[in-house]
Structure 1
């Protein structure tokens, strides 16, 4: 909200897990919503995910690059219409790299990730040190490169009653950071630990346009969405519900 008393600030929720409020402006949010509408169309469109135990996820999903299903990846919508998965757009992968730079601070000048703005980061994550390692630019605090080859996107749609239980993004072989972009209704995002689904965890309100990145020691942390806040989406988006775009690196060959 523009008129709130204390503006929301970038926060390191856990080591390597960073929340950047309001990262996407309204124009970029609109563009992403329209892109999600196109991706959701068949073939290999939006579907209900069924778990091996016979249950269903309340959030519906469409995938790009590779198709996620419980608990693996495929090149076709194996639990949907069987069609080949839609490709991962290059511009979306580049947005993921921009997100990492925004979360951890820009790489040094001359690094291989030109998406970061020039000059020093005005809001550095406490404890981060940035510099070159060999021919790549890294965040040295968590040894995370900036030239990350994002090749998978999961788009989840939540209506007002949808939830997401505590889980880990564990089917990928790569350890690159996960990038999460929020559009539409706000939600309570629960970010936990790497050992169990229980405490300790921290609840964070994610609003439309917010960025959340988790990598380094938090890459395999449990996380979930216990609650969506209906009616909180910016009216300019024309969206009822919440969209979450999650970018990952599979490392699957």
Structure 2
């Protein structure tokens, strides 16, 4: 089922359970090469999510600011973006251009992501594609400026979101996860993949 909210294209239940499990296996392979880490905001506060990346560059944050980096904090290059993730990107965006980065965020119980814009990329005309795996997350959609009325919906395992056009710089975030709502991840939690054209 496709739902549109403020320019966000939300494909509910797009991935069946077998495809979800296969993607989790792909992400484990990524994390074996580029282990998950806990980034720090420029303000010195640790983020509640753990993350890693795949692709030519990975997203990174520390006291120097938010940015894309060609190497993992431990120094090794990021692994390639899994083929199944690229197939989702090409299939739902219709673009030949592949993303430069697949950011992997892992939400444990109590983790959240504050309202933010994805604006560290060089060109905002390219969409962002987001994949939800595991426990449901309460996704909040705002406006192109801070404040104002927002709308929220639960993103469940297998849901895919495409954020492009007028929605590309809309503020959005994850207020909380419904820990234990999915059996996909043995220890619970939520994995979110976001594919971006960064360079």
Corresponding residue of 2:171: 222
1:164 paired with 2:113, answer yes
1:194 paired with 2:156, answer no
Query: How many residue pairs get matched?
Result: 193
Picking from 65, 68, 90, the partner of 1:97 is 90
Pairing 1:83-162 to 2, within 5 Å after superposition: 83-100=76-93, 146-162=95-111
Corresponding residue of 1:48: 38
Structure with larger RCO (C-alpha < 8 A, sep 6+): 2
Q: Residue 237 and residue 56 in structure 1: after superposition, are their counterparts in 2 closer, same or farther (change >3 A)?
A: closer
Q: CA RMSD in A?
A: 1.6
Q: Which runs of 5+ in 1 are unaligned?
A: 1-8, 101-112, 114-145
Q: Residue 61 and residue 153 in structure 1: after superposition, are their counterparts in 2 closer, same or farther (change >3 A)?
A: same
1:39 paired with 2:34, answer no
Larger radius of gyration: 1
Aligned residues of 2:133 and 2:184 also touching (Cα < 8 A):
no
Q: Secondary structure at the match of 2:32?
A: coil
Aligned residues of 1:193 and 1:199 also touching (Cα < 8 A):
yes
Picking from 9, 14, 17, the partner of 1:23 is 14
Higher percent of residues as strand: 2
Stretches of 4+ aligned residues off by more than 4 angstroms: none
Picking from 116, 137, 161, the partner of 1:212 is 161
- Which region of structure 1 is more displaced relative to structure 2, 64-73 or 181-190? 64-73
Corresponding residue of 2:49: 59
TM-score, length-scaled by structure 1: 0.72
1:177 paired with 2:169, answer no
1:12 paired with 2:4, answer yes
Aligned residues of 1:29 and 1:237 also touching (Cα < 8 A):
no
TM-score, length-scaled by structure 2: 0.91
Picking from 67, 73, 98, the partner of 1:72 is 67
